[in-house]
Structure 1
Amino acid sequence: MIELGGNITLVGFSDLDDGSLIILKKMVGNSVRKIQDNSQNFEGFTLTCKNVHSDNKFELHAKLIDNGKVITSQVTDFNLFYTLDKVLKAIHAQQS
């Protein structure tokens, strides 16, 4: 488990290489900053990665807690960064 800034938690990313992890942290940090700007009372954000070994796919689960309301999204795809972009955009869209 990796914590970013105290209220962002990344789970299941220990298998990533250092370069990919740096890019992932930047993408998550920038997106969550935008999500925070649109939040009433941002309480926390959790991103969980599950590897689908049989297909080399990434399954990402995102959970936002905003003013007591839980917003979730789940996306599965072959490319980690494409999947991350889709799951973050889905959270942002549900928030609006």
Structure 2
Amino acid sequence: MSEPLFPMEEDLRAAAEDELQRACTLAWRDLSGHTPWGDTFEGFTPAGREVCFERNYLWESEAGGDIQVEIVVFPPTVYEAGVRLTGLILRTGA
């Protein structure tokens, strides 16, 4: 199998940005009863690389407040080589 045309870092970042966008569409009200929470699953980057996606929902500062969303996308055997992005789901409008 040939190597994808996109550089690894750029490809991981694109996958992380897409996953963060999806993760931040969940409503605070739906997540608040499950926070803190996280999971890891396998998938593919835009260039077709096999990777692991780690998604975590954590309280930003205190329980019941804003929820921080953390996404890490990494090659299956090299967690340290991954890209980590964070977003925020505000309690406003809960």
Coarse TM-score class (shorter-chain normalised) = 0.3 to 0.5
Q: Which structure is higher in helix share?
A: 1
Of structures 1 and 2, the one with the larger relative CO (CA 8 A, separation 6+) is: 2
In our comparison, the structure showing a higher alpha carbon Rg is: 2
| TM-score for both structures, normalised by structure 1 | 0.37
| TM-score for both structures, normalised by structure 2 | 0.38
